[in-house]
């Protein structure tokens, strides 16, 4: 599912446009920070390469006094530390982008599946979703099978009816639905959506 498809799906749901705007803003923020980290990394790469070449040249030719070599080696060491720090920051930013992407796709799938509280339930499901080597995201279900986020979410909602909106009209004999209201629990009793979500998070 592409970002455009996700935003389109969210836009068709109640309150979906506001959620889509929030997700867009967060992703833009993360992308801007990532671009900044890439620029810093490229500058560090170039400087480190330059200093390494100079140190190597002086060492091989035996030219230049020891102080000059030590000075450049110190600069190289400092740049290497900065480079390592930049790499760590870049990795953290990448992890944030992946998390944001997985979250927005999960929320979109839950919204499409008529989940009672997509943003909150997503917190439960994203623990089962990971990025593959090819860059795709896979949902690992209870059987250990890797499926798409949309398929995994749909199956999970089918097995956890308490997480689905109850659209029955009042007086029809059905239980109450909606965020914080009562629904049918797996044990046949009543359970609030909030308590069910909390229980799921505690079990993971």
Instruction: Pick 195 or 84 by higher pLDDT.
Output: 84
Q: Which residue has the tokens 């930049």?
A: 86
Identify whether residues 46 and 140 lie together within a single domain: no
Identify whether residues 3 and 42 lie together within a single domain: yes
| Residue where one domain finishes, among candidates 112, 132, 160 | 112
Identify whether residues 136 and 149 lie together within a single domain: yes
Residue 123 is encoded by which pair of tokens?
């917190």
Instruction: Pick 5 or 178 by higher pLDDT.
Output: 5
> Looking at the 3D structure of the chain, how many domains does it have?
2
pLDDT for residue 157 is more than 70: yes
Q: What integer best gives the mean pLDDT of the chain?
A: 75
| Residue where one domain finishes, among candidates 112, 140, 161 | 112
Identify whether residues 43 and 97 lie together within a single domain: yes
Identify whether residues 46 and 93 lie together within a single domain: yes
Identify whether residues 96 and 131 lie together within a single domain: no
Instruction: Pick 34 or 165 by higher pLDDT.
Output: 165
Identify whether residues 137 and 70 lie together within a single domain: no
Q: 10 Å Cβ neighbour count for 98?
A: 16
pLDDT for residue 170 is more than 80: no
Identify whether residues 6 and 106 lie together within a single domain: yes
pLDDT for residue 178 is more than 50: no
d(CA 204, CA 201): 5
Instruction: Pick 176 or 130 by higher pLDDT.
Output: 130
Rounded to a whole number, what is the largest CA-CA distance in the chain?
A: 93
| Segments forming the whole domain that contains residue 65 | 1-112
Identify whether residues 3 and 46 lie together within a single domain: yes
- Which range, 2-16, 68-82, 186-200, is most confident? 68-82
d(CA 75, CA 68): 11
* Three-state DSSP class for residue 111: helix
Identify whether residues 100 and 4 lie together within a single domain: yes
| Residue where one domain finishes, among candidates 112, 143, 166 | 112
Residue 181: what pLDDT?
Answer: 45
Percent of the chain past pLDDT 70, that is, above it, reads: 61
Instruction: Pick 92 or 33 by higher pLDDT.
Output: 92
């Amino acid at each position: 599912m592409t970002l455009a498809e996700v935003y389109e799906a969210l836009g068709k749901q109640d309150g979906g446009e506001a959620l889509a705007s929030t997700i867009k803003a967060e992703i833009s923020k993360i992308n801007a920070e990532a671009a900044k980290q890439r620029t810093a990394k490229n500058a560090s790469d170039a400087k480190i390469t330059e200093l390494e070449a100079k140190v190597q040249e002086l060492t091989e030719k035996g030219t230049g006094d020891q102080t000059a070599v030590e000075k450049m080696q110190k600069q190289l060491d400092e740049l290497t530390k900065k480079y390592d720090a930049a790499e760590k920051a870049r990795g953290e930013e990448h992890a944030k982008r992946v998390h944001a992407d997985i979250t927005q796709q999960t929320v979109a799938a839950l919204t499409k599946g008529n989940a009672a509280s997509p943003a909150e339930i997503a917190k439960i499901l994203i623990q089962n979703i990971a990025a593959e080597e090819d860059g795709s995201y896979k949902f690992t279900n209870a059987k250990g099978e890797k499926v798409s986020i949309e398929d995994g979410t749909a199956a999970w909602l089918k097995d956890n009816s308490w997480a689905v909106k109850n659209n029955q009209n009042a007086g029809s004999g059905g239980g109450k639905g909606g965020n914080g209201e009562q629904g049918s629990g797996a044990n046949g009793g009543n359970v609030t959506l909030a308590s069910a979500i909390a229980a799921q998070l505690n079990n993971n």
